[in-house]
Amino acid sequence: MNARTRCGRRGTGEGFTLLEMLVALTIFSIAGLALVRLQAVSARTSVDLRMRTMTQIVARNLMIERLTDPAAPVRGASEGTIENAGRQWHWAQQVEEADSGRMMVITLRIDGGQGQSPAVLTFGRMK
């Protein structure tokens, strides 16, 4: 009994059969498609993360403006736009009194854009 018979190979030819080649190509093509899809999802996630980070930066900048402004913000709702990073950002603000009128509670909402979740910050400021 020679080595070829012991390994289970029948026939005298060496190499792969056509069926083995088709199975191997199918496996490699499925793996390649999975890698391409993973790359696309990764790129999309990176863009979403960048946009979400910029939205949070804009919200924090507005919060610092509200905290350092010598005049207390006007009670009630207001909205507007601000330019940052070469883009217009829509913001909405709700101001309420707290602690018997000694404190202002400010809620800022910055829209990140279509399909993006907004950044919402709530903080307190002494009058």
Residue with tokens 């030819």: 13
- Segments making up each domain of the chain, as ranges: 16-126
Architecture field, domain 16-126: 2-Layer Sandwich (3.30)
Please give, one letter per residue, the 3-state secondary structure of 68-113.
HCCCCCCCEEEEEEEEECCEEEEEEEEEEEECCCCEEEEEEEECCC
pLDDT of residue 11: 58
pLDDT tens digit at each of 127 positions of the chain: 455 555 555 556 678 899 999 999 999 999 999 999 999 999 888 888 988 999 999 999 999 999 999 998 889 999 999 999 889 999 999 999 998 888 999 999 999 888 888 999 999 998 8
Place of tokens 């350092």: 68
